[in-house]
């Protein structure tokens, strides 16, 4: 059996509303300023959040990873075995990869697999993958390599298993290469792999974004050799999205009519800005007013 990721209690949050069926935001007398800490449901439409704070929290919770700053524009998290790393590009925007998570065959070996997340990707999606990788690497080596690097189950079977109990059911194409949420705000694409092709084709693409704004979608691309469990860790955040914490100004305007936004009792604006799931008592969100519509390269040693 593949190792299961350790629980992430500090990043999960329940709400009185079902995050899979958010009600549209409506005009209200309740006023939210850009600096107001809020709860956004569902989290996969909450916007990217604060990547720097998310990475800082990752370091706090994972002592086997070390920070390395090779350039001003990027920060690396390197596992103590030097077979995995997480790179944050501080200057990335739009479709450019802001996050790159990669595993290598040995400390000085070749790239084995890679996952890249564009700048619009919510930090909860990225950290779900990072947390699963971290927990897998910290387990017994035999279990780690058997389950994390050499899983035998086909990816399409793993995806079917992940979405089969979704309510409402996900839509699936006839060829089984695309699975989409019933509300059209997220899904996964499994590109056809052509053996011998010189063109690099991702093994899977998990995506999300507001309906009617395809150009604003976020994307997470996983290479063909990426373990199923890594892909599914990201997919689960779209199948069963949790509420996410943000500052009101961090929620993209185009997302607002398709999410529920509620003010949260102020704890610390800095903590809220982290953009991660946090445990607290269930709070029914109040509606918000409607707004106007390196991966690759030479590896370096620490």
pLDDT in tens, 46-79: 999 999 999 999 999 999 999 999 999 999 999 9
Is residue 230 in some structural domain? Answer: yes
Tally of structural domains, the chain = 1
**Which band of pLDDT confidence, cut at 50, 70 and 90, is reported for residue 140?**
low
Q: What is the pLDDT of residues 175-202, one digit of tens each?
A: 778 999 999 999 999 987 666 665 667 8
Is residue 283 in some structural domain? Answer: no
Tokens of 262: 């509620």
Task: Choose the weakest-confidence range: 55-64, 103-112, 132-141, 165-174.
Answer: 132-141
Q: What is the pLDDT of residues 80-108, one digit of tens each?
A: 999 999 999 999 998 999 999 999 999 99
Separation CA 203–CA 185 (nearest Å)? 21
- If one counts every other C-beta atom within 10 angstroms of the C-beta of residue 212, the result is 11
Domain limits for position 90: 48-241
Is residue 8 in some structural domain? Answer: no
pLDDT computed for residue 194 by the predictor: 62
Is residue 14 in some structural domain? Answer: no
Residues 6+ apart with CB under 8 A from 174: none
pLDDT computed for residue 202 by the predictor: 86
Is residue 218 in some structural domain? Answer: yes
Q: Rounded to 5 degrees, what are φ and ψ at 130?
A: -60, -40
For the chain, the helix, strand and coil percentages under 3-state DSSP, each to the nearest 5: 25, 20, 50
pLDDT, average across residues 22-51: 80
Q: Rounded to 5 degrees, what are φ and ψ at 74?
A: -145, 155
Is residue 113 in some structural domain? Answer: yes
Diameter over CA atoms, the chain: 60
**Bridge partners of residue 71, in order along the sequence:** 74
Q: Say yes or no to pLDDT of 24 above 60.
A: no
DSSP reduced 3-state for 218 = strand
Percent share of the chain, pLDDT over 90: 60
End-to-end CA distance of the chain: 33
pLDDT computed for residue 225 by the predictor: 87
| Gyration radius of the chain over CA positions | 19
Is residue 11 in some structural domain? Answer: no
Tokens of 114: 């890679």
Mean pLDDT over each residue of the chain, to the nearest integer: 81
Is residue 2 in some structural domain? Answer: no
Residues 6+ apart with CB under 8 A from 10: 61, 276, 277, 278, 279
**Which band of pLDDT confidence, cut at 50, 70 and 90, is reported for residue 154?**
confident
């Amino acid at each position: 059996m593949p190792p299961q990721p350790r629980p992430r209690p500090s990043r999960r949050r329940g709400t009185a509303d079902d995050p899979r069926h958010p009600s549209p935001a409506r005009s209200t007398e309740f006023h939210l300023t850009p600096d107001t800490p809020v709860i956004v449901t569902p989290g996969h439409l909450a916007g990217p959040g604060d990547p720097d704070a998310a990475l800082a929290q990752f370091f706090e919770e994972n002592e086997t990873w070390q920070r390395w700053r090779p350039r001003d524009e990027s920060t690396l998290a390197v596992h103590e075995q030097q077979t995995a790393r997480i790179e944050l590009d501080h200057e990335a925007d739009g479709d450019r990869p802001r996050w790159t998570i990669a595993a290598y065959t040995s400390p000085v070996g070749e790239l084995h697999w890679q996952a890249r997340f564009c700048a619009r990707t919510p930090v909860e999606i990225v950290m779900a993958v990072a947390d699963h990788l971290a927990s897998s690497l910290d387990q017994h080596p035999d279990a780690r390599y058997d389950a994390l690097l050499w899983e035998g189950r086909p990816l399409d079977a793993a995806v079917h298993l992940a979405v089969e109990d979704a309510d409402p059911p996900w839509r699936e194409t006839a060829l089984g290469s695309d699975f989409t949420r019933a509300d059209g705000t997220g899904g996964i694409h499994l590109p056809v792999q052509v053996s011998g092709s010189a063109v690099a084709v991702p093994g899977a693409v998990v995506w999300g974004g507001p309906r009617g704004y395809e150009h604003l979608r976020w994307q997470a691309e996983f290479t063909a050799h990426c373990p199923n469990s890594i892909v599914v860790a990201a997919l689960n955040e779209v199948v069963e999205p949790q509420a996410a914490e943000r500052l009101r100004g961090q929620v993209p305007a185009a997302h607002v009519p398709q999410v529920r936004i509620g003010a949260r009792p102020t704890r610390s604006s800095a903590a809220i800005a982290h953009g991660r799931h946090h445990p607290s008592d269930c709070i029914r969100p109040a509606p918000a007013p409607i707004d106007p519509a390196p991966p690759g390269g030479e590896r370096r040693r620490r």
